[in-house]
């Protein structure tokens, strides 16, 4: 089905996976991208004249500019998190990206809007008070309120944490359902895992779809799995940014811990420990032993040694007090495993399945489904966290495609509901959990 004549736009696309997936479905660039001040910015090192800091959307906009598909890019003149009902923010031009600075935005007959709101308020690894989480969720609530009240598209799709379909998501869902009710939209909550969308990455997420109709239609299911070896073989031999991330640059301790394991256990060290190498330290209470190994290395500076010691002491204190924490020690994939969710910690802590190295920027971008000519701007060793602040392209493509098809179909479910919960992992419609 062709959507060439249908209008669509994106809000806060971050590193671009959601945008690229939607663009593939629609067959043409968005009318425009709306975002927030700072997300498309970059800074240059005055000494080297090289890019030192890049915000998420700079990567996307540079890519769209390179391939000749750059839409107009404008930003809201307001802070990222707002907890009010103001739906008339000033929209200002971005000096860096706006093509037609005087062009007014035309929201009429908008068929689709996609967005990637901040999800840390619902993340299972976010340790903070409920009030703080509510504040972090304001970005998601405000964008939804703006889209449904001001832009008024036929379909609005955004991505968020898997806990959206659990009691942890109650507070946010109540707000969203109230917005939907007041604007005459129905809602579909759709939980899935990227590994079912022709990928090898374990990434459970929830997509929220608003339909401008009085019921939420049926959405289909997909189950296409592959293994890491076959998936990585799709990367062209001449792909750029295919040098491994630097152990020394992003996680010194992991490099020396791998060296320690190889020295202690020999060349077959991988077969001697479980997937999570951290267990090897805990079960044998080897914190002091690893510290002694790092201390004995004459090639490690005292500054780096102290940082390694501090990290090990932190982990030991948590273990001694029976407290959990988010660690970044090396994880070993077996040949049949899927890649863990690509994010800040896994990029610096997940070893290649057969080589004693971290993954490359290209491999991580490939796990997210990005085109092989999509590049991280600046030094990849500094920009790597932004790869995971993203939506896998193939997953976004499938969800948007299903939402578009579902909107125009007659509801084939017996009972018409304004709110539905679909689970692609279970391959069925589910009840509220």
Q: Is the same domain home to 306 and 222?
A: no
Q: Is the same domain home to 191 and 298?
A: no
Which of 279, 215, 230, 120 has its CA nearest to residue 409? 215
Instruction: Read off the pLDDT of residues 88-104 as tens digits, 9 standing for 90 and up.
Output: 444 444 444 343 344 57
- What's the Cα-to-Cα distance from 35 to each of 12, 13, 139, 283, 295, rounded to whole Å? 5, 8, 11, 47, 48
Calculated CA dihedral for residues 422, 424, 428, 433, nearest 10 degrees: -50
Structure tokens of 128?
């903070």
The CA distance from 387 to 374, in Å, is: 11
Domain tally, the chain:
2
Mean pLDDT of 68-81: 73
Residue 419: the pLDDT is 93
Structure tokens of 159?
């991505």
pLDDT at 132 over 60: no
pLDDT band at residue 275 under the 50/70/90 scheme: low
Q: What 8-state DSSP symbol labels residue 266?
A: -
Instruction: Read off the pLDDT of residues 356-383 as tens digits, 9 standing for 90 and up.
Output: 889 999 999 999 999 999 999 999 999 9
Which of 87-96, 118-127, 140-149, 422-431 shows the lowest per-residue confidence on average (mean pLDDT)? 87-96
State percent of the chain over pLDDT 70: 86
**What number of other Cβ atoms are within 10 A of residue 152's Cβ?**
17
Q: Is the same domain home to 190 and 307?
A: no
Q: Is the same domain home to 70 and 208?
A: yes
Report if residue 387 sits inside a domain. Answer: no
Instruction: Give the CATH number for residue 403.
Output: 3.40.50.150
State percent of the chain over pLDDT 90: 52
Instruction: Read off the pLDDT of residues 232-253 as tens digits, 9 standing for 90 and up.
Output: 999 999 999 999 999 888 888 8
Q: Is the same domain home to 183 and 248?
A: no
Q: Is the same domain home to 95 and 177?
A: yes
- In the three-class reduction of DSSP (H, G, I as helix; E, B as strand; rest coil), residue 420 is classed as strand
pLDDT at 124 over 80: no
The distance between the two most distant Cα atoms of the chain, rounded to a whole number of Å, is: 72
pLDDT band at residue 119 under the 50/70/90 scheme: low
The CA distance from 138 to 276, in Å, is: 35
Query: CB–CB of 280/274 below 8 Å?
Result: yes
Q: What is the mean pLDDT of the chain?
A: 85
Mean pLDDT of 63-80: 82
Q: Is the same domain home to 17 and 81?
A: yes
pLDDT band at residue 276 under the 50/70/90 scheme: low
Report if residue 29 sits inside a domain. Answer: yes
The CA distance from 20 to 415, in Å, is: 34
Mean pLDDT of 308-324: 88
Q: Is the same domain home to 190 and 257?
A: no
CA atoms within 13 A on the CB side of 409: 15
pLDDT at 85 over 90: no
Q: What 8-state DSSP symbol labels residue 55?
A: -
Residue 399: the pLDDT is 97
The CA distance from 346 to 56, in Å, is: 18
Residue 299: the pLDDT is 92
Q: What are phi and psi of 122, to 5 degrees?
A: -115, 5
Residue 267: the pLDDT is 83
Q: Is the same domain home to 104 and 213?
A: yes
Q: What global pTM score does this model have? A: 0.88
Report if residue 233 sits inside a domain. Answer: no
Which of 314, 341, 359 corresponds to the end of one domain?
Answer: 359
The CA distance from 166 to 308, in Å, is: 38
Report if residue 90 sits inside a domain. Answer: yes
Residue 46: the pLDDT is 85
Rg (CA), the chain: 23
Q: At what angle do helices 287-296 and 277-284 cross, to 10 degrees?
A: 110
- In the three-class reduction of DSSP (H, G, I as helix; E, B as strand; rest coil), residue 107 is classed as coil
Report if residue 2 sits inside a domain. Answer: no
Residue 368: the pLDDT is 98
Instruction: Read off the pLDDT of residues 35-69 as tens digits, 9 standing for 90 and up.
Output: 887 888 888 888 888 888 889 999 999 999 999 99
Most confidently predicted of 110-124, 177-191, 263-277: 177-191
Q: Is the same domain home to 203 and 144?
A: yes
Domain residues for the domain of 78 are: 7-227+393-430
Instruction: Read off the pLDDT of residues 154-207 as tens digits, 9 standing for 90 and up.
Output: 999 999 887 877 777 888 888 899 999 999 999 999 999 999 999 999 999 999
Q: Is the same domain home to 271 and 199?
A: no
The CA distance from 59 to 217, in Å, is: 35
Contacts of 178 (CB under 8 A, 6+ apart): none
**What number of other Cβ atoms are within 10 A of residue 129's Cβ?**
8
């Amino acid at each position: 089905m062709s959507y060439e004549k249908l209008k669509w736009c994106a809000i806060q696309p971050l590193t671009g996976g959601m945008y690229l997936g939607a663009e593939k479905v629609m067959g043409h660039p968005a009318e425009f991208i709306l975002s927030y001040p700072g997300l498309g910015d970059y800074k240059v090192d005055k000494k080297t004249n090289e890019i030192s800091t890049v915000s998420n959307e700079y990567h996307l906009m540079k890519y769209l500019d390179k391939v000749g598909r750059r839409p107009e890019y404008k930003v809201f003149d307001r802070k990222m998190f707002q907890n009010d009902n103001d739906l008339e923010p000033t929209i200002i031009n971005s000096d860096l990206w706006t093509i037609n600075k005087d062009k007014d935005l035309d929201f009429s007959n908008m068929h689709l809007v996609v967005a990637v709101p901040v999800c840390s308020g619902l993340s299972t690894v976010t340790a903070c008070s409920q009030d703080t989480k509510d504040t972090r969720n304001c970005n998601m609530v405000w964008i939804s309120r703006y889209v449904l009240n001001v832009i008024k598209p036929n379909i609005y799709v955004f991505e968020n944490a898997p806990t959206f379909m659990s009691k942890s998501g109650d507070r946010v869902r109540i707000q969203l359902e109230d917005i939907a009710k007041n604007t005459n939209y129905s809602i579909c909550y759709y939980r899935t895992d990227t590994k079912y969308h022709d990928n090898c990455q374990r990434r459970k997420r929830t997509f929220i779809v608003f339909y401008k109709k009085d019921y939420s239609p049926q959405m289909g299911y997909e189950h296409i799995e592959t293994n890491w070896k076959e998936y990585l073989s799709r990367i062209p031999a001449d792909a750029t940014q295919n040098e491994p991330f630097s152990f020394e640059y992003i996680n010194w301790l992991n490099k020396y811990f791998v060296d320690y394991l190889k020295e202690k256990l020999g060349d077959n060290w991988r077969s001697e420990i479980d997937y999570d190498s951290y267990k090897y330290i805990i079960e044998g209470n080897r914190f002091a032993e690893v510290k002694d190994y790092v201390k004995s290395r004459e090639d490690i500076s005292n500054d780096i040694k102290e940082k390694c010691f501090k990290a090990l002491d932190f982990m030991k204190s948590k273990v001694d007090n029976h407290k959990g924490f988010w660690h970044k020690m090396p994880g070993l994939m077996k040949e049949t495993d899927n890649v863990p969710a690509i994010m800040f910690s896994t990029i610096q802590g997940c070893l290649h399945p057969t080589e004693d190295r971290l993954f490359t920027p290209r491999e991580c971008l490939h796990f997210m489904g990005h085109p092989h000519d999509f590049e991280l701007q600046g030094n990849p060793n500094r920009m790597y966290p932004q790869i995971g602040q993203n939506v896998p392209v193939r997953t976004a493509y499938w969800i948007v495609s299903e939402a578009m098809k579902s909107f125009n179909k007659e509801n084939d479910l017996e009972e018409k509901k304004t709110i539905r919960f679909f689970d692609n992992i279970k391959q069925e419609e589910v009840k509220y959990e």
